[in-house]
Amino acid sequence: MVDVSSERRLGAALVGIAVLAVAAAQMMSPFAQPPLYDGPLPSPYVWLDAPAGQPSGAQSATMSFEPTKDHSNPLIVLSTPEYTPQAQFFALAGSFTVPAGTTSILATITPVEPEAPPPAGYIDGNVYEMSVNDQAGAPLTFATGATPITVAMRGINDPSVTGITDEMWLYEPGSGWLDAQSKYAGTAATYLANMTNLGVFALVAPGQDPNATPTPPATPTQPGATPTQPGATVTPSPGASATSSATSTPLASGTPIASATPTPIVPPPGPGSGGGGVPILSIAVLALVAAAIVGIGLFAYRRANRPPAPPSRPVQRRPKPRRR
């Protein structure tokens, strides 16, 4: 036999205390991503050049926009069609200077072959070329002082699971690979970078490519060009824009990539502080709290279910001796 009302009281106590525990755990969480307690996992990564046993058929994305009346661009949000998208970018209205006579703005994301290996590590996933052009295919220029473009790319390494964090790099034909100063987005192995120009992007992971033979050391793409070392802050030379390919947007003259962060992206802590490792302290604290909660609940439950005290025996009066 189960006392339903006492179970409900215990359940209500658990609900109340669990809400506090969830709030505490949410504050301790190293990632900003809202808690997806369950749901579909991201679909398998689709490759341009698939390793053995991996799916191929990486797709492009294209979208056209009409310029605004003040010779600017509207909000541009473009992403590849996978679940979760493998490449995407966001440009607020006014991010680009649109020359007079422009009738259409064409935004594209295309998976491409890498022109050169990264200076260290390996390319984690596909390389994507992102561009915003006018109707003739001429790249639009990033407007001075505008809010930077947010580029998001999905890789294979999810730092919350593997503990390995990728870095997003931008390939400039004249300068080689440039560190885009990306941050982990907190979900689905996706990384974000704020940019003042578009071009050819890749995620670069440290170590050896598990899907390929060891990569040869990087070589400069042009005489005199020096590949950037990982982690270095890069200021591309103004001349780099002159050597950009026709499909990539020229770099705003003299604007360092790393400085283009008006919308701060707060970096999640590294793997050592909870990303990939086991947060033993947090788990221990939560386990103690949970044990205390269950203990209190049990105490209340048992107290509510205490068998009723036996009824007191009626006082037996000794019969008075009969008078004779």
Could you say which residues in the range 197-256 bind another protein, by CB under 8 A? none
Cis bond upstream, residue 84 (ω within 30)? yes
Is position 307 an interface residue for another protein (rule: CB under 8 A)? no
Subset of residues 168 to 197 that bind another protein, contact rule: CB under 8 A: 185-188, 190, 192
Subset of residues 109 to 128 that bind another protein, contact rule: CB under 8 A: none
Is position 59 an interface residue for another protein (rule: CB under 8 A)? no
Nearer CB in complex with another protein: 87/251: 87
Nearer CB in complex with another protein: 54/104: 54
List phi, psi (to 5°) of 93. Answer: -60, 135
Q: How far apart are CA 59 and CA 185, in angstroms?
A: 22
- Type of residue found at 175: S
Question: Of 15, 52, 246, 309, which one interacts with another protein (CB under 8 A)?
Answer: 15
Is position 30 an interface residue for another protein (rule: CB under 8 A)? yes
Question: Of 41, 136, 212, 232, which one interacts with another protein (CB under 8 A)?
Answer: 41
Nearer CB in complex with another protein: 77/138: 77
Is position 52 an interface residue for another protein (rule: CB under 8 A)? no
Residue 219 corresponds to which tokens in the numbers above?
């070589």
- Go through 85-107 and write b for each residue having 16 or more CB atoms within 10 A of its CB, e for each that does not: bbbbbbbbebbbbbeeebeebbb
Q: What is the CA radius of gyration of the chain?
A: 31
Is position 2 an interface residue for another protein (rule: CB under 8 A)? yes
Instruction: From 34-42, 131-139, 251-259, 311-319, give the range in contact with another protein by CB under 8 A.
Output: 34-42
Subset of residues 81 to 110 that bind another protein, contact rule: CB under 8 A: 81-85, 88, 90
- Type of residue found at 39: G
Candidates 224, 246, 248; CA nearest to 237 is 224
* Minimal distance, residue 63 CB to another protein, in Å: 12
Q: How far apart are CA 23 and CA 44, in angstroms?
A: 32
Nearer CB in complex with another protein: 57/101: 57
Nearer CB in complex with another protein: 146/185: 185
Subset of residues 256 to 275 that bind another protein, contact rule: CB under 8 A: 265-266, 274-275
What are the distances in angstroms from CA 230 to CA 76, 85, 164, 169, 217? 30, 26, 14, 9, 14
Q: How far apart are CA 307 and CA 131, in angstroms?
A: 76
Residue 171 corresponds to which tokens in the numbers above?
């390939």
